[in-house]
């Protein structure tokens, strides 16, 4: 079983995460930011990952630290759960969500990078700042060691655009973390 448990305590957040990459989408998520909980649940369910996530953040300030620090912890957990097991490494997906179309492509390369292309029209989705979508993705990609490209092809509704991106990420990860049968997919012989 490829699992990880990560905790992170700072003056701004207290986070605990249990992650199983070989799960079936059994999820328990509580961050205090309802829309973010909805997106994380979609990520875990569509990725086929089991997760138990509890976050206590300084929401009296705003949602920034809660969301960014959750990305950090999730990235660390993915990296820990993958360990040195050879995986398929690459994944990509186009996911529609009503009028919106999201795209994700990634490489579990140990070379973290983020390309993020999505324009939002509103400042908030529930209690979540729209600008935090990119911040979460950056924190996750850099801690997980993933090259991640995300793009909203089109769409009008910010909720739909965001959900399409989270689900596209989930399906890309699902492809990329599949075991590779003992062979490291790299001409270098190591990732």
Q: Chain-wide mean pLDDT for the chain?
A: 95
What is this structure's pTM?
0.95
Query: What domains sit in the chain, N to C, each tagged with a CATH number?
Result: 3-176 (3.30.230.40)
Backbone phi, psi, residue 162, to 5°: -65, -45
- For residues 141 and 149, what is the distance between their CA atoms, to the nearest angstrom? 10
pLDDT on residue 180 = 86
pLDDT-derived band of residue 10, with 50, 70 and 90 as boundaries?
Answer: very high
pLDDT tens sequence across 55-112: 999 999 999 999 999 999 999 999 999 988 889 999 999 999 999 999 999 999 999 9
pLDDT tens sequence across 27-47: 999 999 999 999 999 999 999
For 52, the 3-state DSSP assignment is: strand
Tally Cβ neighbours within 10 Å of residue 189.
7
Question: What is the DSSP secondary structure assignment for residue 178, as one 8-state letter?
Answer: S
User: What strands lie across the sheet with 27-30, from one edge to the other?
Assistant: 3-9, 13-20, 50-57, 27-30
- For residues 118 and 133, what is the distance between their CA atoms, to the nearest angstrom? 9
For the cut 80, the answer to whether the pLDDT of residue 13 exceeds it is yes
User: Would you call 1 exposed, middle or buried from its count of C-beta atoms within 10 A (0-12, 13-18, 19+)?
Assistant: exposed
pLDDT tens sequence across 175-189: 999 988 777 655 565
Stretch 114-120: mean pLDDT: 98
In degrees to the nearest 10, what's the CA dihedral of 16, 20, 25, 26?
-60
- For residues 137 and 68, what is the distance between their CA atoms, to the nearest angstrom? 8
pLDDT on residue 190 = 59
């Amino acid at each position: 079983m490829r699992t990880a448990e990560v905790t992170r305590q700072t003056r701004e957040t207290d986070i605990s995460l249990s992650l199983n990459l070989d799960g079936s989408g059994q999820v328990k998520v509580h961050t205090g930011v309802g829309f973010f909980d909805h997106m994380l649940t979609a990520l875990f369910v569509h990725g086929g990952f089991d997760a138990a996530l509890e976050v206590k953040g300084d929401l009296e300030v705003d949602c920034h630290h809660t969301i960014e620090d959750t990305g950090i912890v999730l990235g660390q957990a993915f990296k820990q759960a993958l360990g040195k097991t050879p995986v398929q490494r690459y994944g990509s997906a186009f996911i529609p969500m009503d009028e919106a179309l999201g795209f994700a492509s990634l490489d579990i390369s140990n070379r973290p990078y983020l390309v993020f292309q999505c324009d939002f029209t509103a400042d908030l989705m529930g209690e979540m700042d729209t600008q935090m979508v990119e911040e979460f993705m950056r924190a996750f990609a850099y801690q997980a060691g993933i090259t991640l490209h995300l793009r909203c092809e089109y769409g009008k509704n910010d909720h739909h655009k965001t959900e399409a991106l989270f689900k596209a990420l989930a399906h890309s990860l699902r492809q990329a973390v599949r075991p590779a049968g003992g062979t490291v997919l790299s001409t270098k012989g190591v990732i």
